[in-house]
Amino acid sequence: MLDRCFGARRIRQIQRTFRHGKITILCLFLTVLVLRGYLGAGKFGTPEQDFKEIKDHLHFRKRAEPHRVLEEAQTTTTETTENNNNNNNYGTFDPTKIAVDEEGDDEKPDPNKPYSLGPKISDWDEQRTKWLADNPNFPNFIAPNKPRVLLVTGSSPKPCENPIGDHYLLKSIKNKIDYCRLHAIEIFYNMALLDAEMAGFWAKLPLIRKLLLSHPEIEFLWWMDSDAMFTDMAFEVPWERYKDHNFVMHGWKEMIYDEKNWIGLNTGSFLLRNCQWSLDMLDAWSPMGPKGKIRDDAGKILTRELKGRPVFEADDQSAMVYLLITQRDKWGDKVYLENAYYLHGYWGILVDKYEEMIENYHPGLGDHRWPLVTHFVGCKPCGKFGDYSVERCLKQMDRAFNFGDNQILQIYGFTHKSLASRRVKRIRNDTSNPLEVKDELGLLHPSFKAVKVPASS
């Protein structure tokens, strides 16, 4: 009897254990699903996506100092995965779903037609000269030796994949607003992709052409990347130095023409004169830009021809190096490769020296002692993966911002508590005679801002 009891009992025991076990397992499985649901989607993507991003990330690591990574802050192509913006949720809402972006609506470029930035213009100098003569109230020089300059920058109209990226874009434009206010330079902040074929870093070309042609009163257009910041608020560009040149980039002749080095110059911060030569230059520069096969194939040529260039699609900087080395006779004489001051300053070799600079030097030098521009190439705060550690990038961007901001704050008697701190402290007490304050850096009423006093006033 007992044997029969145990036998049947054992069977029911097993059955019961199995039933309860199923519930337990189901419950544990649900827990895992929930965890994966929160960790998996949105933040880390699918495993397939992970692999691709890691691969891309490793790709960019294979570079010698100094680095240069694609400036993709302007990418607004339809390929960008909208779903990756889940982290930008304001509450539980996905803002990327507000905008109605109808895919496939772009005009499809005619594959048989070579790319063109626009209708050919051959008499721009004449057109412009006439316009300036007819419009004396929009002069191209706002003071003796002071050309009218438009600083052009921008970023994607989409929220950054990395939410913190938009905060750094905001600080970056504030930084530019400050410098430009002191130096009587106007700003154009672009958030529109004017030509779908020229997306990404190439987007600046159609934009620049459009602005030059629309604004004949502009003498120089100053393109500046969104990841570049002004760190010398007192330095005025030596415009006179470039009176015989049309295109000023930071770079070294030897690195371009002798070494054919892909980072022999930098197109993250450059000056372009508003003239026929520049329109022709833009036309000559653009052919490697159209996305897809053209850009990919061009990238291979550039990697083959230029020293140190990794494998990736054609970028505007490499294309410029290639243009100069292959057509030096045509363009070289009007291109000024500037390295006496940091029109572009690679952040890696500058940011650790700010305290030393403060100790030993002063604003107004613009060079290695006090760089005009600190450019965070490779950091990509707007994207997901940069080429450097996140912590280092963001920390140094804060320091660079504060380093520049201190020069503004000191005008008003304040400074950041430290280069790492957002907070400010007073360094000069207010008085009842504010106009007697010594303007140490000459930034309160800078000479480069002064209007020309009319002769008969």
Q: Which of 346, 422, 378 is nearest to 174 (CA)?
A: 422
199 or 265, CB closer to a second copy? 199
Q: CA 250, CA 367: separation in Å to the nearest integer?
A: 11
Q: Which is nearer to a second copy, 58 or 451 (CB)?
A: 451
Specify the residue, 86 or 303, whose C-beta has the smaller distance to a second copy: 86
Shortest distance, CB of residue 262 to a second copy, whole angstroms?
27
Which residue, 194 or 358, has its beta carbon nearer to a second copy?
194
Question: What are the structure tokens assigned to 409, written together?
Answer: 């704050």
Of the candidates 246, 274, 240, the one whose C-alpha atom is nearest the C-alpha of residue 129 is: 274
Backbone angles phi, psi at 294, to 5 degrees: -60, -50
What number of CA atoms fall less than 13 Å from residue 53's CA on the CB side? 15
Measured from the CB of residue 137, what is the shortest distance to a second copy in angstroms?
A: 4
Is the distance from CB of 129 to CB of 219 less than 8 angstroms? no
CB of 233 to a second copy, least distance (A): 14
Give min distance, CB of 26 to a second copy, in A: 9
233 vs 394 by CB, closer to a second copy: 394
Angle formed at CA 284 by CA 245 and CA 74, multiple of 5 degrees? 95
Tokens for 59, please give them: 């790709």
Cβ 434 to a second copy, closest distance in Å? 4
H-type alpha helices, 40-86? 47-61
Specify the residue, 76 or 317, whose C-beta has the smaller distance to a second copy: 76
Residue holding tokens 């052009």? 152
Q: Which two tokens stand for residue 393?
A: 């990038």
Q: What is each CA distance from 237 to 157, 232, 338, in whole angstroms?
A: 30, 11, 11
β-bridge partners, 273 = 220
Shortest Cβ distance from residue 206 to a second copy (Å)? Answer: 10
Whose Cβ is closer to a second copy: residue 264's or residue 386's? 386
Shortest Å, Cβ 409 to a second copy: 6
Q: Which two tokens stand for residue 182?
A: 């002191």
> Contact 137/230 with Cβ under 8 angstroms?
no
